Amino acid sequence: MATYSLRRFTRPEILRKIDRRLLLRFLDPHRDFLTVRGVALPAADGGSGEIDSDGLAKVFMAPDADTPDGLVNALFLVDEMATEEGMDDLLDAAQQAGISLDGSSDATPADVALHAWFQAPALLEQRHSEQYLTNARSFEYYQSKSEPKDPTKRPSKKVLGKLEGDLDDWFEEKRRGRGTRVHLDSKAGELWFRVCHGDPYRREPCLEGGEPAAVHYRPEKGDVVVYNPALGELRVNARSKGEKDLYRRMFGLHLFGNEEFFPETGKYTLDPLRTDGADSLVCSDVPGLKKVVLREVHFRRGGPENEVEIRRADDLFAAYEARGRPLPTKPRIVRAKFQVKFEGARAPRMVTIKPSNIATYKRDSDGEIVEEWLSRRGFVRSTQRADAAA
């Protein structure tokens, strides 16, 4: 079953702006399929004739079981990278790799993405993977107990292959199939891994020729694992607790020879909100921060209905102070949201902390500054701060 989500190539006005020669070259291997779908392409050897952009957009908008997988995969990658940001990224990466992408000075982002597909498809996939990595916002953190001998060493292809094999075994056992791929990139002194793997099999109703039918397929899912050698810290963006624990153990084993190199211990605490009150939000000693405001807390009351009480305000400490009351000493705070004003930013951004290991940022670049503030104010447990400073 062919599935994708396109944002640009389903719009005829975008397709009309793509270099005609490039688009024909891209579509030519699928000429027969498009003809059956009512889109007759002009000759690919430079002949005349307009490309039916409206017809193409309709075909791309509604893939079915007969849509070639090769077309689906290529469309998805090119469409995702056909942005101004994607174009700049591809041109920079190509220059660093010593690759000269064809195209004129007036090439559109889609033109550049297509040139990358023809000349350096591996580079296109790599930069798309990097784009996905930077979109991950919610992480669970694991702190190492000991210093690795060579914390900045990149794992070899052989090591990554063994890691993929062990991950495959787990995913197959959990009915997610085999075929795991681990992509590695370096960014700001960290090792970023994208783990692509199968999800549980799906059966979904559909229409074929106007008649009810069903499609059967296994979706692919991408998780993000980041190792910060300066802190000896692994952070994981994944959906299930089992996947997070898998990555904690397997990355410890294959990168450092020990499944418990990153023990499952808590990193964050929200106790300073009660012990220090509004003083826990002071940020004048943290470069890059202008102001922190507590906007929301979640109190877990539990009981047979698992009750959670949410208190929310523009400034929660100010709201309690106006009533002459401190933040309640009970029950346990299980989540807090902070409004953070960064230097040079026009608008504040939200940061969510959920003990014991989850921090969520609007932008990945916010992480380092916010972590510094959390550590200084005691939101990072003392054992974790000691490990990082050792």
- Which tens digits make up the pLDDT trace of 266-305? 788 999 999 999 999 999 999 999 999 999 999 988 777 8
Pick the residue with more confidence: 231 or 353? 353
Task: Answer for the pair 127, 90: CB distance below 8 angstroms, yes or no.
Answer: yes
For position 227, what pLDDT does the model report?
92
For position 131, what pLDDT does the model report?
65
3-state secondary structure of 302: strand
For position 50, what pLDDT does the model report?
85
Indicate if the pLDDT at residue 386 is higher than 50. Answer: no
Structure tokens at 359: 């921090």
Using a 10 angstrom Cβ sphere, with 0-12 exposed, 13-18 middle and 19 or more buried, the burial of residue 122 is exposed
Q: Nearest CA to 74 among 121, 111, 119, 31? A: 121
pLDDT band at residue 45 using 50, 70 and 90 as cut-offs: low
Indicate if the pLDDT at residue 264 is higher than 60. Answer: yes
For position 130, what pLDDT does the model report?
67
For residues 133-162, average pLDDT: 78
Q: Is 324 left (phi over 0), alpha (psi -120 to 50) or beta?
A: left
In sequence order, the 6+-apart residues with CB closer than 8 A to the CB of 80 are: 7, 86, 128, 131
For residues 364-383, average pLDDT: 86
In tens, the pLDDT along 46-91 reads 566 789 999 999 888 877 778 888 888 888 889 889 888 888 889 9
Percent of the chain beyond pLDDT 90?
44
Distance, in Å, from the CA atom of 280 to the CA atom of 315, rounded to the nearest integer, reads 14
For residues 242-270, average pLDDT: 92
For position 387, what pLDDT does the model report?
46
- Residues in the chain, how many? 390
Long-range CB contacts (< 8 A, 24+ apart) of 213-222?
Answer: 215/1, 215/65, 216/1, 217/1, 217/3, 218/176, 218/177, 219/3, 220/196, 221/196, 221/197, 222/129, 222/132, 222/194, 222/195, 222/196
- Highest mean predicted confidence (pLDDT) among 43-52, 344-353, 376-385: 344-353
In tens, the pLDDT along 309-342 reads 999 999 999 999 999 998 998 888 989 999 999 9
Q: Please state, rounded to an integer, the average pLDDT across all residues of the chain.
A: 86
For position 5, what pLDDT does the model report?
61
Cα 193 off chain centre by: 10
In tens, the pLDDT along 170-203 reads 999 999 999 999 999 888 788 999 999 999 887 7
For position 388, what pLDDT does the model report?
47
* Diameter over CA atoms, the chain: 80
Indicate if the pLDDT at residue 352 is higher than 80. Answer: yes
Distance, in Å, from the CA atom of 287 to the CA atom of 188, rounded to the nearest integer, reads 18
In tens, the pLDDT along 211-227 reads 887 777 788 888 999 99
